[in-house]
Amino acid sequence: MDRKIAFIGLGVMGKSMASRLIDAGYELYVYNRTKSKGNDLVAKGAIWCDTPREAAMKASVIFTIVGYPKDVENVYLGKDGLIEAAEKGKIFCDMTTTKPSLEVMIAERLAEKGAAFADAPVSGGDRGAREGTLSIMCGTDDETFRSLLPYFSVLGKNIVHLGPAGSGQHTKMANQIVIAGTMAGVSEALVYGARAGLDPEKLVATIGKGAAGCWTLDNLAPRVIKGDYAPGFMVDHFIKDMSIALSEADSMGLSLPSLALTRELYKAVSAEGHGQDGTQVLVKALRRLSGMNED
């Protein structure tokens, strides 16, 4: 197992994931578009690289987790991108949530140079990234999955091989469809409880033990109660994910009306200046719609 890893993308999720790999004893070569986001990791022993290509040249296993499909495409296929460092024996693993079709295309391009590829989007938010409890949904061949398992085990707990390249992204789309409706439901429940005069902490503790129990209620409702709208997962990234899911559904001849409605709610939240806030900020928009005090 190679101890030298390249890690590209040091945002809310990537920084914590990279930190865990350093703590596990791996030698990390890091790159991020905004260099200052890598300062803490460099202080822990990571080695800064000026381009994705430079980082990949120094490692045999390369992880990426960036923002949008255009960022994935640029990191892999752009100037000084990862494709320029691809060669037989290297494994590239994209943990961004992005278009399944893009991942298939990247896998094919890397295969032409003898390199392996896996798409492995994650779920579990900033807390899961910090604590190493992420769910990891992997699309690749059997051999590559086995090679990546030791690294995945540092980052997550629920690690599943779902099929060939693209399968991880399709699974993540299903995950985001569930989360979209759940987040809307939890937000409406909190607004309803507030208007009814219920104690929010007692409300969440009570319904969380019954059929309404879910990750969103356990992890994001307490943040809302505290007035904490910092991003575990940003509104604008969630809109991106919902848009990908709706596009994929359309290509398969599917109608997902609940998801389409939830996306419109979040687009309104973003238009009001909350695109960089956490998804739980939806509660504030619903309060305003009901004429309630935002606090």
Active site residues per annotation: 172
CA distances from 68 to 31, 72, 74, 104 (A): 16, 7, 10, 16
Neighbours of 253 (CB within 10 A): 6
Query: Do residues 90 and 60 lie in contact, with contact meaning Cβ atoms separated by under 8 Å?
Result: yes
With a CB cutoff of 8 Å and minimum separation 6, the contacts of 155 are 17, 20, 21, 122, 129, 132, 134, 136
- Report how far residue 18's alpha carbon sits from residue 162's, in angstroms, rounded to the nearest whole number: 24
Structure tokens at 206: 């009570």
Query: Do residues 70 and 95 lie in contact, with contact meaning Cβ atoms separated by under 8 Å?
Result: no
CB-based burial label for 88 (10 Å; 0-12, 13-18, 19+): exposed
With a CB cutoff of 8 Å and minimum separation 6, the contacts of 145 are 118, 138, 161
- Identify the residue whose tokens are 């290297």: 90
**What is the Cα Rg of the chain in Å?**
20
Residue type, 93: C
Residue type, 108: E
- Report how far residue 176's alpha carbon sits from residue 62's, in angstroms, rounded to the nearest whole number: 25
